[in-house]
Amino acid sequence: MKIPSFLQIKNLKYEYIRRDEENNVEGITTAVDDVSLDVKEGEFIAVLGHNGSGKSTLAKHINAILFPEEGEVILDGMNTKDEEKLLDIRRTAGMVFQNPDNQIIGQVVDEDVAFGPENMGVPTDEIAQRVEESLKTLGMWEYRNASPNRLSGGQKQRVSIASVIAMHPKCIILDEPTAMLDPRGRYEVIRAARALNEVEHITIILITHYMEEVIHADRVFVMDKGKVKMEGTPREIFSRVEELKEMRLTVPQVTELAWELKKAGLRIPDGILTREELVKEILKLVSSRTGVSSRTGVSS
């Protein structure tokens, strides 16, 4: 028996139409062009792409902020074109945006987390419960009475994620959540997303242009000029370094180093993702050449 997929995007097409002052069409940009993809419940999906590749436009279709011009989006059995299902769709798929300042509505952290449940009409006692539970999940409980203005970027994004979690979604779409953060903040946010996926089994759709962030995804989609150009596990994607470079995407440093070494003639497999893997491969190579045991000093 085939399990129906959680999210189905079929031949999605979306165009931005620029108009001049007299409402004449000046130009059409096809942001998303004939994209189809399937996501199963509980998966960690990453969508990679350069600026203007259409990845954010795609993300906004999933929870019915934008509506498809052609094709359709079906989330958990609901078509996003069905207006009656609008609120259900938005509570099933929560969304975290890029700019942390522009998505926090409350003046105090806990009020912001309560905003979603308030809109959904959750009874007061349960809101308090949900606020506590989701702030604790994201490790932000001690900041519940703080003003969002005093938090760091990473903390603000964690509050935004907590605010989405409080709505008990099945799926969270993270639309470049780390683009405006420092490395520490990026680490905090990605770790939080992974934990939610592994512990709570929430489907994660991570939109990003940082290659390092997709290493832990179950599947990666690479977008360019509105189309899905590659699809596969991170290892499969990262073994195609040249194609990625053509799409102006930079691969992680380790992967690139491994790729260069291979080009230089060393026998190193494709798709190296972490430093540990590369160290292991090089030691293997060294031991096969010199006969020295590779048991000594394997550390990063």
Partner 1 sequence: MIRDITLGQYYQADSVIHRLDPRTKLVGTMVYLVSLFIFTGPWVFVTAASFLLLCVFLSRVPFSYMLKGLKPILFILMFTLVINMLFTKGTVLFSWWKFTITEEGLKQAGAMGFRLVLLILGSNLMTLTTTPTRLTNAMEHLMRPLKLIRVPVHEIAMMMSIALRFIPILLEETDRIMKAQLARGADFESGNLIKKTKSLVPVLIPLFISAFRRANDLAMAMEARCYHGGKGRTQYKPLKYKGRDFVAYFMVIIYLAGVILIGKFL
* Binding mask of the shown chain, residues 170 to 189, with x at each position contacting partner 1 by CB under 8 A: --------------------
Tell the smallest beta-carbon distance from residue 160 to partner 1 (Å).
8
Could you tell me which stretch among 114-122, 222-230, 260-268, 274-282 binds partner 1 (CB under 8 A)?
A: 114-122
Which of 113, 210, 93, 129 minimizes the C-alpha distance to 161? 113
Residues with Cβ within 8 Å of residue 247, at least 6 apart in sequence = 49, 50, 53, 222, 224, 229
Q: Please report where in the chains the tokens 């509105």 appear, as a residue.
A: 226
The answer to the question of residue 254 lying near partner 1 (CB under 8 A) is no
The answer to the question of residue 81 lying near partner 1 (CB under 8 A) is no
Q: Which of 7, 32, 58, 122 binds partner 1 (CB under 8 A)?
A: 122
The answer to the question of residue 206 lying near partner 1 (CB under 8 A) is no
Q: Which of 78, 108, 180, 257 binds partner 1 (CB under 8 A)?
A: 108
The answer to the question of residue 168 lying near partner 1 (CB under 8 A) is no
Could you tell me which stretch among 14-22, 38-46, 93-101, 236-244 binds partner 1 (CB under 8 A)?
A: 93-101
Backbone angles phi, psi at 10, to 5 degrees: -115, 120
Bridge-based pairing of strands 7-19 and 219-224 is unpaired
Cα-Cα-Cα-Cα dihedral sign, residues 152, 153, 156, 158: negative
Query: Which SS3 state, helix, strand or coil, does residue 66 take?
Result: coil
Q: Which residues are 13's β-sheet partners?
A: 70
Q: Which element (helix H / strand E) includes 159?
A: helix 153-165
Please give the DSSP secondary-structure letter assigned to residue 69: S
The Cα–Cα gap between 59 and 215 comes to: 20
Tell the smallest beta-carbon distance from residue 273 to partner 1 (Å).
32
- Please, which residue, 110 or 213, has the CB nearer to partner 1? 110
The answer to the question of residue 153 lying near partner 1 (CB under 8 A) is no
The answer to the question of residue 117 lying near partner 1 (CB under 8 A) is yes
- Please, which residue, 103 or 239, has the CB nearer to partner 1? 103
The answer to the question of residue 146 lying near partner 1 (CB under 8 A) is no
Following DSSP, what letter does each residue of 165-177 receive, concatenated?
HTT--SEEEEEST
Q: What residue ranges bind partner 1 (CB under 8 A)?
A: 60, 63, 65, 87, 90-91, 94-95, 97, 99, 101-108, 110-111, 114-124, 127-128, 131, 148-150, 163-164, 167
